[in-house]
Amino acid sequence: MKEAVSLVKKSQRILLSGHLRADGDCLGAQSVIYHALRQLGKQVEVMLPNAPDNRYGFLEAHTPWTLFAGTLPPADLLIVCDCNQLDRLGAMGDAVLASGLPRIVLDHHPMAEDHGWTACVHDCSAAASGLLALDFAAALGVENLPVEAHEAAFVALMTDTGWLKYSNANAAAWAAAAKMVEQGVDSARIFDLVFQQAEIGRPLGIAAVLESLEYFADGQIAIAWASQAHLEELGGSMEDTDDVLDLLRSVRTVEVVAVLTERAGGVVKLSLRSKHRVDVNQVARQLGGGGHARAAGATFAQGTTLADAVAKVRDCLLNVIR
């Protein structure tokens, strides 16, 4: 972390970013760093590679962002939150490579030894990148973050731990949550903003996915999917798969769950979850994605049909279970 602190101290125009379709942890970590850098008198801009998960739009009120449109703004340092592979920034990752900017990664996912980052703020034991962002802010000498930053860190922590019910919700996570509430975070308000604002088509989207549900390996594997055409036919939406993933993972025999949805343009997205034994990060990496041991995902290459993607996922999971 010392090298990362040194880079920030020497920089004046800092660009923050994160992975495609930024989630609560990505946006939350960026927000914490945004407020910390502003307190240090830095010029800061948040640029996302594409539109984020719309559940977290309320964070933009105090942490404004722009979307990448082909060029990077003037900057002398880049900080990427919640992912450690530049290809997870899509076309923006290519622009970063071409720019030659020094770059810091702030992340809690497993990382390759030949990662290519200039400096790292990295800890796989952290429950969320948002907690690492708070640690980094402290290392930078920022002691009094505004309540908006604590709110963003709370969003990061709660979304990545499933409101403190996943296996990564360790003692440090619980203690951090309590401290944030002490700092003025309204936990009921955050729950309402994140988990009680689903689009009207979400239940129908879940119904569409469950129509295809199949179990394999004596019920240890559950796989479900939905095409874009079927979702449109039912008037359903499936931008977020957490609800259906949690439902399938609750089945007593199930160890690992895969949900595949076809998005606009025919791109197939995969979400994976497991209970105890299967490292779905390794499964996702085989399919061009990544994540955590118990929660991971991937997006298949353009042109991969939904049927082909389902078959590939089924074969990978059967090999792992065997």
Q: What is the pLDDT of residues 115-153, one digit of tens each?
A: 889 999 999 999 999 999 999 999 999 989 999 999 999
Percent of residues in the chain assigned helix, strand, coil, to nearest 5: 45, 20, 40
- Positive or negative: CA dihedral 67, 23, 285, 85: positive
Reported as a pLDDT band with limits 50, 70 and 90, residue 322 is confident
Residue 139 has a CB neighbour count (10 Å cut-off) of 15
DSSP string, 86-122: GGGGTHHHHHHHHHT--EEEEE-S---TT---SEEEE
* Residues 71 and 98: beta-carbon distance below 8 Å: no
Q: Is the pTM of this model over 0.85?
A: yes
Top pLDDT among 25 and 288 is at 25
* Residues 88 and 19: beta-carbon distance below 8 Å: yes
Total length of the chain: 322
Top pLDDT among 125 and 112 is at 125
Q: Is the pLDDT of residue 50 over 90?
A: yes
pLDDT 10s digits, 297-315: 999 988 999 999 999 999 9
Task: Say what the pLDDT of residue 249 is.
Answer: 95
Task: Say what the pLDDT of residue 239 is.
Answer: 82
Counting residues of the chain whose pLDDT is more than 90, the rounded percentage is 86
Tokens 């209970």 label which residue?
275
User: Per the structure block, which two tokens stand in for 219?
Assistant: 């019920």
User: Per the structure block, which two tokens stand in for 11?
Assistant: 């920089």
pLDDT 10s digits, 248-265: 999 999 999 999 999 877
Burial (CB < 10 A; 0-12, 13-18, 19+), residue 200, is exposed
Reported as a pLDDT band with limits 50, 70 and 90, residue 292 is confident
Q: What is the mean pLDDT of the chain?
A: 94
Q: What's the rounded mean pLDDT across residues 46-71?
A: 94
Q: Do strands 214-216 and 221-226 pair parallel, antiparallel, or not at all (unpaired)?
A: antiparallel
User: Per the structure block, which two tokens stand in for 208?
Assistant: 């569409």
Q: What's the rounded mean pLDDT across residues 179-204?
A: 94
Domains of the chain: 2-195 (3.90.1640.10), 202-321 (3.10.310.30)
The CA distance from 55 to 19, in Å, is: 16
Task: Say what the pLDDT of residue 113 is.
Answer: 81
